[in-house]
Amino acid sequence: MSFEGFTRFLCDPVNFAFVPETIEPDEEDLRYPLSHYYINSSHNTYLTGHQLKGPSSSEMYRQVLLTGCRCVELDCWDGDDGLPLIYHGHTLVSKIGFRQVVEIIKKSAFITSDLPVILSIENHCSLQQQAKMAQMFKTVLGDLLVTNFLFEADFSDSPRLPCPLQMKNKILIKNKKMIVDVPTPLPMIDRGAIQRGETNLTLHRKQSKNSYESSTVDEVEDDDLDEFLDDEENEEDDQEEVPVRGEKDDSPKASKRAEKSARNIKQQDSLCSDHSVEQAKPSTSKSASKTNEGKTEDEVLYAQLAQNAIRNQQPRKNNTGVQIAPELSDIVIYMQATKFKGFPPVEGIQSPRLIVEDPPTSTTSLSFSTRSRTPSTLLSTPAPPRRQRSSTQLSQELQSEYLSSARPNATATCYQVTSLNENAAKKLMKRHPAKCISYTRDHLIRTYPSAKHYDSSNFNPINCWAHGMQMVALNFQTPDVIMAVNQAMFEQSGNCGYQLKPRCLWDESHLLYNKFLPLSKDIAGHSALLLNLTIISGQHVYPNTHYASLYVEIEVIGIHNDCVREKSKVVQRNSVNPIWNHTTQLRIACVDLAFLRIAVCDSGQNGRVVAHRVVPVKCIRPGFRHLPLRTSTNLPIDNAMIFLRTRFEQEEHIYLHDDDSNSYCNLEHTLAYRTDLTPNLSPTPILKKQIFVLRITGAFADETAITVHSESGSTVKTVMQQALLNAGKNADQVEEYVLIEESLPAPSGEDPIEQRVLPLNEPIMDAVACWNGSMRRFVLRKKGSDPSSRAWITSIIKSGTGGSSTSVSPSPLIKDGHVKSASSNQLHGRSLDTDAEHLEVTEGLNPRARSMGDTFLVCVHNVSEDQPYAILRAGINSTAADIIRQVFVKARRPNVDDAEYVLVEETCDDTKINQGQSMLQALSLARKRSNDLTPKYPNNRTTSRVLGPNENVWKAQSRWKSMGRFVLENRKDTVHATLEKGRRVESTTSSSSSTTTTRKISLSSVRSIGLPRKFSKFGKSLTMDAGPK
């Protein structure tokens, strides 16, 4: 390929880093209940700008629906001509006709997406105009409007919301719905009247036993939520959110003034009578001038409008509930607006269809809920005089006939939708994060901006999404960074308006199910995705300007722990093709809710953004790519691109103790480029980055263990520094301490405790590489000034060089019954069933390995020239082929054919080890990065054996009676040549057996005496002449 052809290949739109235009919705992802999705939602859709003043337009509904929005809002008020209007009540915005809006919705609803559209009604109309609203909905929308329960699940005792795929090309009404209950005691009712649905029922505007109180205005303010939170203890304020660049950031005083004024103005929601708005006039009194001093023009206007709204408010009537026209109630099916009154009990999440109670009295109370199609005053039919029956018999008969009629469970709580403003949602998420996530698995919650966003700015929706809230309504008329994030969220599903929530929020099989808490610091302990990003250069990034001095701002917008922002260097006077070559690594714990924003800023204009792009992290394609840029209002810019390189890595926690498996789970983050594959094209593998979880004792008097994260190249000094930092001993110097590797005795108590002081510059994992299932631990000890302490440390150091050790008396830290191996004595994770039982009774296993967990630590040597070993935590059922495959993933050699390699077991006969040599000293070879097991002890007999591809590695390691290791070898260079060489060696040794001593040696010894490293065959040892050369 020529250079020009390669350039065209890179600039081809098919190869861009993110191509949302080619994404199609996956039908398999659209088969879950509506509560499992984020729904693209609009707030005050009719507004074109400010919340308090300016024009309203029905055209906004067309534009918003064409962007893929699936939930639009209609604020309905009584019109003077008897027809309802849509406008923002008690403000200075203009009014538009209700019918005009409905007609535009019908024409534009399913052009961009055929998935269901939700009309969120904020109802302030009288009963007469509500009836006209319902008539217009039916007349204009026709068959598009859902007016009945449609699916079999709606008639069951445990109904659920339908899925988006079932509701294609359908429009749903979200509004308050009347609840119908049967009064008690039950009078005599005619059987025919029951069959016709005509019973002596009374409409109650109150909550049934297992549902929530409905409200005409379903929005919940701070005061409403405080009613639920009154019993909660006072907690600290929300942790400070990382502000998104471009998001409104008011000063505390301004926010407080706006909130106070906004709370008054929002009282408009309870007004249903006088909707006229008096013209706001500026106050001329001195007191008013003082009050308005220091306020912005919008704040003054907000306060004046609030006073007008209070003056216009009429006293509420003492009704038992708010009024709703039955015609409008009848077309509210799956989206029943309710006021939030708290979380239901676990067993009450789904309300039963029929509740029969038998009190000790002579009458029986039967209470059920059903959707009524009769007028608000239902007919009452007297009982026939022909036969007298007891109320109990009548109740049973009524129950039987009711069940046979198969009425839908219309009042199931899964159909109830709660609306919370931004501040109320924050309080709920802060105090009850787990309950909030659990509640939103089956129920819909809608959130909308608080009153401080009177300028139509938006709030960051990530936190609401992270807690499962489905409909985060935003001001679409303001094209800010938040709207770019919202657009990126739904672009990854083909802009269909529905995005499946992260599986940890609803999938019981997910590792983080019921464990994911977005605001918790513990989420940082989970394995994260590492995005290695290099911003290489830009092309035509500043339209119509060629000599600007530009820099790049890189930002991750996500949950609190993932948010980060950094800047590149400034390239002077070049906006045509600036070259930055800025490299960074971004750690992302929650990939599904992480968005990468790349902004090009002009340093000569105080960092003004001249172009930017927001993309979902999970949809970024790796490699060298171009990313098209957009304007600050999120519109495309011709030929403006960023040339970048991306590479993904996956953190993998290798915990040395089984108890840590409950705190650290290895997640496989799903990336779009690995699931949406072109035929015959394999995905680029995700490289693994191992994070070793170490426990260090000795920092506290009670021997509490400190958890330290270490990488392969971390030195002992680095680990000690992190341990002191985690222990809160920042002022202490590392030189005042020593880190001791201490062996723990076997449960039999036969082996003495051995200790070794680790040199500061030694890689900590060199010590771990020699554990091989034995019982060890790290102890942090402070150097004492007394002679006995100095003598104790000196005796450990002088017993050998660098990696030496000595046998000492049992440490006072080791107590009877407290000694554990590197793995706990109980199985963790999934049950092994018969496999675990079989492993327990296998003969010949080391006693301390019989009760290990379902994973074990294994070290494989001779991985590559630059990587002498690899430490893995593998399952106890892993075969040699499985281990080899994991080793190459760890070594970042995914393209190697693992079938060409074998795993070699090298063990040493411990009976030949001198009594003065300790096991720690014998196994110090890995610490010195040696590939040879025997040169250090030339008089010891070692045995090499090739493991079969299906041989269990854990069993092989557990049978070791002394030191040993696994070595990775190439099958081609080792196995086949070994057969011929082995025969020649055997013939030579047999002819000179009278003068030569033979012994079994390892392959590394073969290298040391100048012979090729070869094998006989699988499962057999190779005997060679290893006498002196």
333 C-beta neighbours (distance < 10 Å), count: 21
Residue 591: DSSP 8-state: G
Measured between alpha carbons, how far is 659 from 651 in angstroms, rounded to an integer?
19
Spatial contact of 858 and 772, defined as CB atoms under 8 Å apart = yes
* Superfamily of domain 37-150+165-230+326-517 in the CATH hierarchy: Phosphatidylinositol (PI) phosphodiesterase (3.20.20.190)
Report the CATH architecture of 520-669.
Sandwich (2.60)
Helix (H) or strand (E) holding 309: helix 297-312
Residue 83 half-sphere exposure, CB side, CA atoms within 13 Å? 10
Spatial contact of 419 and 448, defined as CB atoms under 8 Å apart = yes
Q: How far is CA 421 from the centre of its chain?
A: 23
Spatial contact of 453 and 244, defined as CB atoms under 8 Å apart = no
CATH entry, 687-808, from 3.10.20.90, 3.30.450.20, 3.30.230.80, 3.50.50.60? 3.10.20.90
Burial profile 364-381: b = 16 or more Cβ within 10 angstroms, e = fewer: bbbebbbbbebeeebeeb
Burial profile 876-890: b = 16 or more Cβ within 10 angstroms, e = fewer: bbbbbbbbbbbbbbb
Question: For the domain bounded by 855-1025, which CATH number is listed?
Answer: 3.10.20.90
pLDDT of residue 226: 54
Phi, psi of 719 (to 5 degrees): -65, -40
Measured between alpha carbons, how far is 941 from 251 in angstroms, rounded to an integer?
77
The size of the chain, in residues, is 1029
Instruction: For CATH 2.60.40.150, list the domain ranges present in the chain.
Output: 520-669
Handedness of CA 13, 14, 16, 21 (dihedral sign): positive
Burial profile 213-243: b = 16 or more Cβ within 10 angstroms, e = fewer: ebbbbbbbbbebbeebbeeeeeeeeeeeebe
Query: Which pTM was predicted?
Result: 0.72
- What pairing do the DSSP bridges indicate for beta strands 636-655 and 737-743? unpaired
Residue of 870, 588, 858, 585 lying closest to 712 (CA atoms): 870
Q: Give the C-alpha distances (Å, rounded to integers) separating 846 from 814, 817, 880.
A: 21, 19, 19
Measured between alpha carbons, how far is 752 from 746 in angstroms, rounded to an integer?
9
Compute the CA torsion angle 55, 58, 60, 63 (nearest 10 deg).
-150
Measured between alpha carbons, how far is 659 from 853 in angstroms, rounded to an integer?
10
Q: Give the C-alpha distances (Å, rounded to integers) separating 235 from 224, 241, 450, 471, 735.
A: 19, 17, 22, 27, 41
Measured between alpha carbons, how far is 945 from 1002 in angstroms, rounded to an integer?
9
pLDDT of residue 692: 85
Measured between alpha carbons, how far is 629 from 638 in angstroms, rounded to an integer?
8
- What pairing do the DSSP bridges indicate for beta strands 416-421 and 335-338? parallel
Spatial contact of 328 and 130, defined as CB atoms under 8 Å apart = yes
List 943's β-bridge partners, or say none: 907
DSSP H helices in 125-231: 127-136, 191-195, 222-229
Helix (H) or strand (E) holding 974: helix 971-991
Token pair belonging to 628 = 């098209």
Measured between alpha carbons, how far is 98 from 76 in angstroms, rounded to an integer?
8
Catalytic residues: 43, 88
Measured between alpha carbons, how far is 70 from 90 in angstroms, rounded to an integer?
27
Instruction: For CATH 3.10.20.90, list the domain ranges present in the chain.
Output: 687-808, 855-1025
Rounded to a whole number, what is the distance in angstroms from the first to the last CA of the chain?
57
Measured between alpha carbons, how far is 374 from 198 in angstroms, rounded to an integer?
8
932 C-beta neighbours (distance < 10 Å), count: 16
Spatial contact of 645 and 623, defined as CB atoms under 8 Å apart = yes
pLDDT along the chain (1029 residues), means of 10: 86 92 91 97 94 92 96 95 93 94 96 96 95 96 94 90 95 88 40 40 37 41 53 43 52 49 45 38 44 59 57 46 85 93 62 34 34 35 43 53 65 92 93 94 95 92 96 95 97 95 93 89 82 96 90 96 94 94 95 96 92 96 94 93 94 76 72 66 74 86 84 87 87 86 67 78 82 76 65 56 38 34 31 35 43 71 80 85 85 78 80 44 42 47 82 85 81 57 49 43 38 39 40
The 3-state DSSP class for residue 25 equals: coil
Beta-carbon contacts of 694 under 8 Å, excluding residues fewer than 6 positions away, are: 656, 707, 708, 709, 710, 719, 764, 778
pLDDT of residue 840: 40
Instruction: For CATH 3.20.20.190, list the domain ranges present in the chain.
Output: 37-150+165-230+326-517
Peptide bond into 185 cis (omega under 30): yes
Token pair belonging to 254 = 């301004």
- What pairing do the DSSP bridges indicate for beta strands 498-500 and 444-448? unpaired
Handedness of CA 30, 35, 39, 44 (dihedral sign): positive
Residue of 960, 947, 942, 936 lying closest to 1001 (CA atoms): 942
Measured between alpha carbons, how far is 583 from 572 in angstroms, rounded to an integer?
19
